[in-house]
Amino acid sequence: MNYFTLDQISEVNTLNEGEEKPARYAVIGKPVSHSLSPQLHQGALDSLDQEARYIRVEVERGQVAEAFEKLYAAGIKGINVTVPHKLEAVEACHQVDPAAASMGAVNTIVFDAQGQRSGFNTDGPGFARAIREEFGVDLKDLKIIIIGAGGGAGRAIATQCVLENCPQIILANRTLEKIDSMMGELQQLSNSETLEGPRDRISTISLSDPALEEAIAASELIINTTSVGLKSGDPSPFPSHWVEPYHLVYDSIYHPSRTRLLREAEGQGARIANGLSLLIHQGALSLEYWLNREVPIEAMRQGVLDAIKD
């Protein structure tokens, strides 16, 4: 097995037996065996001369707070949280960063000297950094449409777009009910005193609505956060001949590196990017929280590329 269970965590000896470096960072999830977080972080930790190992831990629903306590007691200094625990992790923190609270999801845990847990979400800010790296523009300046806004990644990105004051945010989803309540919450966030800009800049649309073509035409950045494209033979999540050369197209999927959407969007003359940069920047931001210093992005990118090469 390439992961530990919660019971094994109670045995510090089991955790570090035969290992050169002690376990200091962990990702929790279920399933967790496919998580690339160790490959993402270990090279960076090594290149920073950290005496630290990054491990995977499988945790059942309802046991997230207990897992945090056991991991802290076992000497773990920072935790990443993945599916399906990002929501439960919000409740299992002593403090939650306001942006993470708005996203309704925590993916990074920082312990203070007393073991108190602070929760952050690096998916949204990591996405903003990814867009700057890939396209050389700021997220805040772009008219956005999110295809699949009802999923976890879609929600984090949509919240980031509101926090960045993007001039247009269209939430598109197959199931409209899933984004209706989110739209209300995002509008409230957008109406808060700290944010300026047009009040009606957030809207929703069903993926089957004929007006989707117009909504895409009115956008500058098209983001796919559906899982459509993960499997070979998957279609594009919307008719990709609607893509125009002025579009930037970002697919949160990074494996395969080119989904059908990205291939066809490129054929239409648009600029494209896959989700590898999001994976890397959300991880880099977690590591920055833990180490309080700049981290080697290229070591992280290489770690993931080595892990996914066919």
Catalytic residue chosen out of the listed positions 86, 140, 143, 309: 86
In the window 257-286, what residues touch ligand ATR (CB under 6 A)? none
With respect to ligand ATR, which residue has the nearer C-beta, 9 or 103? 103
Q: Which of 193, 196, 199 is nearest to 169 (CA)?
A: 199
Q: Quote the CA–CA distance of 92 and 111 in Å, as a whole number.
A: 12
| Contact track, ligand ATR, 143-162, x by CB under 6 A | -----x-xxxxx--------
Closest distance to ligand ATR from the beta carbon of 28 (Å): 16
User: Site for ligand ATR (CB under 6 A): which residue of 190, 226, 259, 274?
Assistant: 226
CB 104 to ligand ATR: min, Å: 11
If one asks whether residue 227 binds ligand ATR (CB under 6 A), the answer comes out as yes
Q: How far is the CB of 26 from ligand ATR (least distance, A)?
A: 21
Q: How far apart are the first and last CA of the chain?
A: 21
221: which strand partners?
144, 248
Residues touching ligand ATR, count (CB under 6 A)? 16
Residue 174 touching ligand ATR (CB under 6 A):
yes
Q: Catalytic: 86?
A: yes
Smallest separation, CB 84 to ligand ATR (Å)? 7
Site string for ligand ATR, 175-204 (x = CB under 6 A): x--x--------------------------
Least Å distance, CB 218 to ligand ATR, is 20
Q: What is the SS3 string spanning the chain?
A: CCCEEHHHHCCHHHHHCCCCCCEEEEEEECCCCCCCHHHHHHHHHHHCCCCCEEEEEECCCCCHHHHHHHHHHCCCCEEEECCCCHHHHHHCCCEECHHHHHHCCCCEEEECCCCCEEEECCHHHHHHHHHHHHHCCCHHHCEEEEECCCCHHHHHHHHHHHHCCCCEEEEEECCCHHHHHHHHHHHHHHCCCCCCCCCCCEEEEECCCCCHHHHHHCCCEEEECCCCCCCCCCCCCCCHHHCCCCCEEEECCCCCCCCHHHHHHHHCCCEEEECHHHHHHHHHHHHHHHHCCCCCHHHHHHHHHHHHCC
Of 72-80, 171-179, 278-286, 299-307, the segment contacting ligand ATR by CB under 6 A is: 171-179
Which of 6, 48, 65, 83 lies at the binding interface for ligand ATR (CB under 6 A)?
83
Stretch that binds ligand ATR, among 54-62, 167-175, 257-265, 289-297 (CB under 6 A): 167-175
Nearer to ligand ATR, 83 or 101 (CB): 83
206 binding ligand ATR? (CB under 6 A): no
The residues pairing with 204 across neighbouring beta strands, listed in sequence order, are 171
Closest approach, Cβ 234 to ligand ATR, in A, equals 8
Q: Which sequence positions are flagged as catalytic?
A: 86
Instruction: Using CB under 6 A, list all residues that contact ligand ATR.
Output: 83, 148, 150-154, 173-175, 178, 207, 226-228, 237
